[in-house]
Structure 1
């Protein structure tokens, strides 16, 4: 473990750090993800997917190719679907084109602040849609 307030979970050559933010749980993975540590990283990451909060999975510091961590993305996608929460993938622009994105793939942001802003905008829109309903009388 490293750091003072946010110890890392060590999975072979990968380190996982988790921050519980107001808008989402941010899971940051750095290092190398491969066959030797993929299962441990999946298990550790899935622990932090809970029904109350969206998840931001930050892979910008992963040095592996997307083929090495696609099983992790599929695992996170399944866990978030089962928990009924939204999730966003943060990856470098160079690797984003190699990962399925768009309506039939994973939602991708280029930074954690951008992902959190998307979630904040989504909350704002949902609240805005509720305002007319609150003003109606029986």
Structure 2
């Protein structure tokens, strides 16, 4: 398999994951996502979950459909989004909020290390981090 095919597959898988996560924000996992919204966010927790779900659906769709000209920009936006929502993961740990099976401090702490993987994945699959 060629390098570009691997990157395309990785980009589409990431995009599909974001679309799924966005749909789950709006439906069956809404309560769990509210547990991640930091108290310092000035919006209602449910509104924050809805808005971030819509953003994830849009970003995931953009990753899936991105053409050669725009995929790098879409990847940077997705990486920035993953960085921007990281405080939610920290809030879940600090406030000891259980959601998504993360019911111990150890599990919540371990999850923090997955966010940089998502940032890298977004950049690598769309053209950055080539070396």
* Structure number having the greater strand percentage: 1
Which one has a bigger Cα radius of gyration?
1
* Structure number having the greater helix percentage: 2
Compare relative contact order (CA 8 Å, sep 6+) and give the higher one, 1 or 2. 2
